[in-house]
Amino acid sequence: MTVGLVRDRVPRPGGPASAVDNKVIQLVAVIVAPLLTWWGTDLLASRLKLSDDGNKAAGAALAALVVFAITWLLQDLRKWWGWYRRQFDRRAAFEGWWLQVHSEADGGSAGPDRAAVFSFLFTRADEPFRVEGNAFNSAGRLLAEWKSTRLFFSTDASNVTYLWEGKSFEQVPPIERKGTTTLSLIRGKRQPTSGYGEVLHLNQDRILTFRLKRVEPSMLRELLGRDAVNVADLGDFDTQKELAVAFLRRQSPAESNRQRSTRLEQLTRTPT
């Protein structure tokens, strides 16, 4: 059975890590390496009594060592410098905290009263990214929790499919669940803030579709009504629940009608 939204590309574990810094490494190879070879040849010629061919060979060897050290540093730099990773690793577009919003309009059988808050964070481990999330309803009841066990990015890192395991709390006692989830981002010139996906529960005839919304400070201030709150606070379970509940209640039919009435009233008061 073909699972997920990535059907025309072959995903690889961890994604295209070997191509993460291709642009920078190509720049080093094309521009820096010849300059280093020239510099190394000139430096060695002034210090070693070698033939011209010997100087060239020694200079090329020295340049190769320096270029190797630079490329190794560039590959490792993404683990420690977030800005560099976001510039040269397309997978980093998924990094951050997200709202996973299920709705009937998206074909989700879970219905509209379900939203999840999950993190997609860099780990500096063998599996470079990790996904963890919790799903709630508008009453604040925990519906599910999960963690990723393996990630597979498409060749161009435009999609990611991950295996997960967790628990469903929609029944008593809770049930262990496993499945796959595919995420796709709507990319533009700036950091993606929205997307879509689907989740498949293994051994169940259940596929849920959803929309993605990136959690940003402005969203937290608007929904939680507090200025002293930031995205890092979402590591707290209660803050995740508060966010999901506030979002769902804002999306309820009664609240939506109230917002439309308020907006209409504002428009009618606006002079033409």
How many CA atoms within 13 Å lie on the side-chain side of 81? 10
74: how many CB neighbours lie within 10 A of its CB?
A: 17
Cβ(216)–Cβ(231) below 8 Å: yes
- The DSSP-derived string for 39-64 is HHHHHHHHHS---HHHHHHHHHHHHH
Q: Treating both helix axes as pointing N-terminal to C-terminal, what angle do 33-47 and 52-77 enclose, rounded to 10 degrees?
A: 130
pLDDT at residue 8 tops 50: no
| Lowest-confidence segment of 22-36, 150-164, 194-208 by average pLDDT | 22-36
Confidence category of residue 150, pLDDT binned at 50, 70, 90: very high
d(CA 1, CA 5): 12
Q: Return the CATH fold of 92-258.
A: Lipocalin (2.40.128)
Strands (DSSP E) along the chain, which ranges?
12-13, 96-101, 115-122, 129-136, 142-153, 159-168, 175-185, 194-201, 207-214
What does the pLDDT average to over 210-232? 89
Locate the domains of the chain by residue range. 18-77, 92-258
Q: What is the pLDDT of residue 202?
A: 87
Q: What is the pLDDT of residue 151?
A: 94
Strands (DSSP E) along 187-242, which ranges?
194-201, 207-214
Pairing state between β 12-13 and 194-201:
unpaired
pLDDT at residue 2 tops 50: no
Q: What is the pLDDT of residue 180?
A: 95
pTM for the full model?
A: 0.68
